[in-house]
Structure 1
Amino acid sequence: MEASAPAAPVEREAKPLVFEEFFQFQYPRLLRAMYLVTGDRHEAEELAQDAFVRAFERWDRVAAANNPPGYLYRTALNLYRSKLRRAKRAARKFTAPPPDPDLFAAADDRDAIGRALAGLPEGQREAVVMVEWLDMTNEEAGAALGISPVTVRVRIHRARGTLKPLLRPEVPA
């Protein structure tokens, strides 16, 4: 009986360490991805934290899945979509004029990329962030988004077509 007693604490200690390693590696990547999707650091932090809470609550199933990062990213994106839906419903109740554009935005490359990404349809923006920014394969991004790898490639192709003229500097003739 004494030999079996130490085995239980070792199993309990191993679970948090595995999640902790997953968290340490994935949190910065998820935060960057959500920032690119939302354009707001605070919202990105909130979404990343909520996604990790949900992953931790289901860690036994998530860790056993073949793509835990995909689960995490899909959870964060679903949380974002839910938040957008709630905001749209609230906006219908209280119609207000659109906010003034930020007149003081700097015109550096990072802002230009952020604005260009924000102009993309949601599906294209998600595919670009996952493949180009997070270096996921089309298969990994497809699994995270719940779409086929071919659809990921199509979305990226269309996004590049939209982004190319926006991000290419004009050269005087």
Structure 2
Amino acid sequence: MTEEEFDAFYATAFPRIVGQLYALTGDHGEAQDVVQEAFVRAWDRRGSFLAEEAPEAWIRTVAMRLAVSRWRRARRWLELVRHNPPADRTPGPGPEHTVLVEALRQLPEAQRQAVVLHHLCDLTIQQIAAETGSPAGTVKARLSRGRAALAQLLSPEEKEESRV
């Protein structure tokens, strides 16, 4: 089968087979996916494809088998989830985390980036310099200033004075 013949076959058969698989699956997107996958498999064997007596039936059969296979995988997954349900809920961030993030937001972007990369991502000064394109001395200065600013923002005395 030449590319032109296969393209013509695809153009005429695809919408019809998608309609049939849509009736089977009840999901138009799923029907399109499995029919498309069946055509990909037919494309791989297009040299002998026209020699078969019913190429459209072959596409439909492959697409139906793909749909059933997906159903089975989905059903197995549901059974697995039912037997091993996920944890109730993941707790949200604690108050310390929220305070830290708020303090980080108050830092200039370059200082915040240096502090986060160094203390949260565990990057060295040289790695931060390479990633940001800044000299190592500049990274050290940003870290120092960022730490000093965070210390002031997070100190208990500063919080109490701001409340009064």
> Normalising by structure 2, what TM-score?
0.48
- The structure number with the bigger radius of gyration is 2
Q: Which has the higher contact order (CA 8 A, sep 6+)?
A: 1
**Bigger helix share:** 2
